[in-house]
Amino acid sequence: MPELTLNIPFQTVHQASIAKNSLRPDPVLKTSELQIDFQVDENILRCKFSGISDRVIRVSISNVLDNLKTAIECIDEFEGKKDSLWELDDVEMNG
């Protein structure tokens, strides 16, 4: 079976874990043709693809990368940023 491993670096272990957990729920439709293994090793997300052909692996990688792009966009949007609209530390209230 052909295999390919993608090593995707993140800034933190937490971000790599978020990405892994967002990718894992998508089940492989034909487990006899394709297997995907996600692991986090420090801040690296390792995605190992094993399939019956290069084409099956290529299509699967394309799908995973599309889903990973969405996960990374969400991480960028929500992790570590404060919403300035709701910061009221310096606001004086009337009354």
Reported as a single tens digit per residue, the pLDDT across 36-84 is 999 999 999 999 999 999 999 999 999 999 999 999 999 988 875 555 5
CATH 3.40.50.970 fits 3-78, yes or no: no
* Helix axis angle, 54-78 to 13-23, nearest 10°: 130
Burial (CB count <10 Å: 0-12, 13-18, 19+), residue 49: buried
**Domain positions in the chain:** 3-78
The whole-number pLDDT of residue 93 equals 56
Q: Do residues 61 and 41 lie in contact, with contact meaning Cβ atoms separated by under 8 Å?
A: no
How many angstroms separate the CA atoms of 36 and 81, rounded? 32
The whole-number pLDDT of residue 89 equals 57
If one counts every other C-beta atom within 10 angstroms of the C-beta of residue 57, the result is 20
Phi, psi of 11, deg, nearest 5: -70, -30
